[in-house]
Amino acid sequence: MEEEPPPPENPATDRIGVPPKRPRTDSDSSTSLESLRSTRTLQSDDVEFVYENGREYGNDSYYMPCDQAENDRLAIHHRIYTHALKGKLTTSIVTPATRRILDLGTGPGHWAVAMARQYPHADVVGVDMAVWDIETTEESVGCTGVNWEIDDLDVWGVEDDFDDLTARLKRYDMAHDYANREPLAATKASRFKGSLSTSDSSQPHTPSDSAYESYVLEPEAQPGWHFSEPFDLIYMRGMKGVFAYWEGVYDEIYKNLNPGGWIEVVDFDMSLPNIEAGVDNFPFPTLARLYLGVMQAAFKSGRPVGTFYMHPTYLDDAGFTNIKQTYINVPIGQWPEDEEQRTIGKMHLVCIMEMLESMLLRYLTMWGDANKDHWTREEVQSMIEVGKGEIMDWASGTDRSGNIREGWCASYKWIIGRKPLDARDRRRD
């Protein structure tokens, strides 16, 4: 019998979640036709859900829920991504030589299942930290050819102290600094280097004879991923706010690709509509307040949200070549004259309306903003309803000339890169 969620006075209590209708791959199962196992894969029975503010989350830190409502929203969003590419699933190159495909942060697995159906010759692996209703996704497409794994690939966590981040937030320029590659401006790489002594290295020191040992001190082992076999395509979509140490993420992706393999990263940016000249009152005061609040909350969490992580220098620094970017504007609302674009815009509007609570609720109740440590659930949900009203008023209204307002779009972005054919195997380093 399914256990009921905790009462409202204790919304963040953990409990064991209901397992998926068909279990994902466990640590003793195969992740491909050739490999015997993938290390670090968790068994679904070991995964705990967190019930909080009426939503279900995969752990106690990631801000997006993994419940049925989010599953449904992501199904709509997958259709939007596919429509934007005129039915294509990827901007990378898939050939008969593409034998292994990995979907990082697969969620309900819509992209992974679609790829497995379109490229049946390839072994497709979908990995996520949470348990989703993958059987429904497979049934909707008519394909069961994906190997599912449960794993939290954030092996680095957050280095910055919460109190320090909160103090730095007061002097942070959100409008400017979130456009930078590293919003936290923290040097992460040094955190994993081994250390032989904590003494002041500026002072000369001559160890006594007893200080010498018969063994050699080794540098501290760096965390990483341990897939049993490399891939030919590694894909991740909608991953803003997931990791704090993106340099490590791209390095691990590079290591786990075959020479000649591809990386593809996909996400989107959305800003408020351009306001026509002569409008006296700003039509989105609540949405603007929520936007600022969630950016501040993400900063305080140590995992800033934004598409800065798709900066091409991340791929270049990791060693990728043939880096290419694709930008597509996707309409929001039913303003386009083209019937297909109008349909996409309507779906997009619904997706964004549903995304507000998914994205804002945990951020603001757990981390708060620059002015307060925590918002209440009621505060967030009340402002979300007002914000939805602002969106609908704008989307269904007309401009000063009586014409339907048009032009509101979100910018969708794809970036790909290739591991050189002559790259040496760094998985063994």
- Lowest-confidence region among 105-119, 185-199, 229-243, 364-378: 185-199
Using pLDDT thresholds of 50, 70 and 90, give the confidence band for residue 422. Answer: very high
Rg (CA), the chain: 23
What does the pLDDT look like over 73-116, one tens digit per residue?
999 999 999 999 999 999 999 999 999 999 999 999 999 999 99
What is the C-alpha to C-alpha distance for residues 226 and 250, in angstroms, rounded to an integer?
14
User: What is the average per-residue pLDDT within 138-159?
Assistant: 86
What is the C-alpha to C-alpha distance for residues 411 and 181, in angstroms, rounded to an integer?
18
Using pLDDT thresholds of 50, 70 and 90, give the confidence band for residue 45. Answer: low
User: What is the average per-residue pLDDT within 323-328?
Assistant: 98
State the burial class of residue 65 (Cβ atoms within 10 Å of its Cβ: 0-12, 13-18, 19+).
Answer: buried
Q: Which residues sit opposite 102 in a β-bridge?
A: 125, 234
Structural contact between residues 184 and 244, judged by C-beta atoms closer than 8 angstroms = yes
User: What is the average per-residue pLDDT within 213-237?
Assistant: 78
Using pLDDT thresholds of 50, 70 and 90, give the confidence band for residue 9. Answer: very low
pLDDT above 50: residue 194: no
> How far from the centroid of its chain's Cα atoms is residue 170's Cα?
26
What count of other Cβ atoms lies within 10 Å of the Cβ of residue 401?
Answer: 6
What is the C-alpha to C-alpha distance for residues 288 and 271, in angstroms, rounded to an integer?
10
The 3-class SS string of the chain reads CCCCCCCCCCCCCEEECCCCCCCCECCCCCCCCCCCCCCCCECHHHCEEEEECCEEECCCCCCCECCHHHHHHHHHHHHHHHHHCCCCCCCCCCCCCCCEEEEECCCCCHHHHHHHHHCCCCEEEEEECCCCCHHHHHHHHCCCCEEEEECCCCCCCCCCCHHHHHHHHCCCCHHHHCCCCCCCCCCCHHHHCCCCCCCCCCCCCCCCHHHCCCCCCCCCCCCCCCCCCCEEEEEEECCCCCCCCHHHHHHHHHHCEEEEEEEEEEEEEECCCCCCCCCCCCCCHHHHHHHHHHHHHHHHHCCCCCHHHHCHHHHHHHCCEEEEEEEEEEECCCCCCCHHHHHHHHHHHHHHHHHHHHHHHHHHHHHCCCCCCCCCHHHHHHHHHHHHHHHHHHHCCECCCCCECCCCEEEEEEEEEECCCCCCCHHHC
What does the pLDDT look like over 239-294, one tens digit per residue?
999 999 999 999 999 999 999 999 999 999 998 887 765 556 788 999 999 999 99
What does the pLDDT look like over 395-410, one tens digit per residue?
887 766 667 777 899 9
Using pLDDT thresholds of 50, 70 and 90, give the confidence band for residue 332. Answer: very high
Q: Which residues sit opposite 149 in a β-bridge?
A: 25, 127
Tell how strand 55-57 and strand 146-150 pair up: unpaired
What does the pLDDT look like over 157-184, one tens digit per residue?
886 665 666 666 655 565 555 555 666 5
- Lowest-confidence region among 10-19, 257-266, 372-381: 10-19
pLDDT above 60: residue 309: yes
What count of other Cβ atoms lies within 10 Å of the Cβ of residue 381?
Answer: 17
Among positive and negative, which fits the CA dihedral 51, 55, 57, 60? negative
What is the C-alpha to C-alpha distance for residues 151 and 164, in angstroms, rounded to an integer?
30
pLDDT above 80: residue 30: no
Instruction: Tokens 């456009």: give the residue.
Output: 179
Structural contact between residues 21 and 138, judged by C-beta atoms closer than 8 angstroms = no
Structural contact between residues 31 and 331, judged by C-beta atoms closer than 8 angstroms = no
Please name which of 78, 76, 87 lies closest in space to residue 113, comparing C-alpha atoms: 78
Q: Which two tokens stand for residue 110?
A: 């819509």
Task: Give the fold, CATH level 3, of 14-181+222-428.
Answer: Rossmann fold (3.40.50)
Give the contacts of 210 (CB within 8 A, at least 6 positions apart): none
